[in-house]
Structure 1
Amino acid sequence: MSETVTALKNARYDAGIAEISEIGPLGMITIRGDLDAPYLRKVAKKIAGVERPERGMGNSDGAAGIAWMSPDELLLICPHAQVSAVLARLHAAFEDTDIFAVNASGARAVFQIAGPHAREVLAKLAPVDLSPAHFTPGMFRRTRVGQVPAALWLRGDGSFHLFCFRSVAQYMFDLLKAAAQAGSAVGYFQPVQGVNREKV
């Protein structure tokens, strides 16, 4: 049996202003349908152990979680080894409904951006207001990073998880490394000479 590996075999960069690391492999299952359906909320809570998140948010508990992707799409995250079992449970639960679930684990790469300058690194690359007042823990946002689609999830510890297509993993890693290179801190989200620039 072949071993599951991530796109970049858990590549890591920690020589700059933030730590960039590929994480996984993760189990990722796309669920599409009526997100307000009571049975979807019930199934999501039972299988992932967390409530279905509201618009623009993600909920997690340990290795399991659910993120809001669009008005009719959720991303369920679970340990990679459990994908087949979780998918079977979802298919059984959604039988005779208009909701479907599909394994998307092999289609995406996931990176963690951590450290005091994590926001700044991503702000260089994505057209998103990442100020602490506007992008708070738990928020999940689909956007573009550089030239490719991506999604950002701010975790409770202050780190970000970035999701992108596996086919652009190397491009994304190189982009993040360049934005996090040593000496590249701008200080936009940090007080500089007694002034908080994000409020200026």
Structure 2
Amino acid sequence: MSRAVSALHGETHKGFVEVAEAGLRGMITLRGDLASSRVKKAVKAAVGTAVPARRRIETNGEKAAAWMSPDELLLMVPHAEAPATAAALAEALAGEHHLVAEVSDARTVFTIRGARAAEVLMKLCPVDMDGFAEGEIRRTRAAQVAAAFWKSGPEEYSLVSFRSVAGYVMGLLETASRPGSELFPA
């Protein structure tokens, strides 16, 4: 059996903010009726949160549930827990219309940390960042690739993209965070 490794082995760049590949993260796509009591109960059991409202992410320590579309959530758990969590979800939702897919090895998570982290995303994503609050999530694009991001701390954003474009995304983040490229120089 092969050993799981992150896409970029924890690569980090320091510019006017720090950008880093966050390492392995367990991720499960759950599709179904998000208003269903069985789905709500299964999500609570899996990650310890409620089903999030539209464009929101609910966190519980290392676990989270992120709204991705009217019938889709991205559940995040520690990497080693993802297979068992996906199996438990599928079992809990047996007989109900749903899809559970463990997508950990198809996705990569990045962090953008620093007082000016939003500036990096402003350069890459067509999202109005004014008033973007902690707990909000946007499914969008970063330059030419699909991505989603959320404010994961007071001066931190997390971004998820496909693993196949991890090098491209890291290059975008590194370039956008280079000293001298700030949108609003101090």
Shift of 1:42: 1.2
SS across alignment from 2:170: helix
Separation in 2 of the partners of 1:57 and 1:31?
A: 15
Answer yes or no: is 1:13 the counterpart of 2:13.
Answer: yes
The code of the aligned residue for 1:159 comes to E
Contact in 2 for aligned 1:22/1:112 (Cα 8 Å): yes
Contact in 2 for aligned 1:30/1:74 (Cα 8 Å): yes
Task: Give the superposed CA RMSD.
Answer: 1.2
The code of the aligned residue for 1:6 comes to S
Partner of 2:76: 77
SS across alignment from 2:124: coil
Partner of 2:176: 179
**Which of 161, 166, 170 is the matching residue for 2:163?**
166
Separation in 1 of the partners of 2:37 and 2:89?
A: 15
Task: State the aligned residue count.
Answer: 186
Shift of 1:46: 1.7
| Structure 2 gap segments, 5+ residues each | none
The code of the aligned residue for 1:75 comes to L
Aligned residue runs from structure 1 range 44-59, under 5 A: 44-59=43-58
Answer yes or no: is 1:93 the counterpart of 2:104.
Answer: no
Q: Which 4+ residue blocks in structure 1 deviate beyond 4 angstroms? A: none
Contact in 1 for aligned 2:50/2:58 (Cα 8 Å): yes
The code of the aligned residue for 1:136 comes to A
Larger radius of gyration between Structure 1 and Structure 2 = 1
The code of the aligned residue for 1:143 comes to T
Identity between Structure 1 and Structure 2 (%): 43
Shift of 1:4: 1.0
The code of the aligned residue for 2:67 comes to W
Contact in 1 for aligned 2:116/2:155 (Cα 8 Å): no
The code of the aligned residue for 1:169 comes to A
1:26-51 residue CA offsets vs partner (Å, 9 max, x unmatched)? 00000001111111111111220111
Contact in 2 for aligned 1:94/1:100 (Cα 8 Å): no
TM-score using structure 1 length:
0.90
Partner of 1:152: 149
Separation in 2 of the partners of 1:110 and 1:47?
A: 20
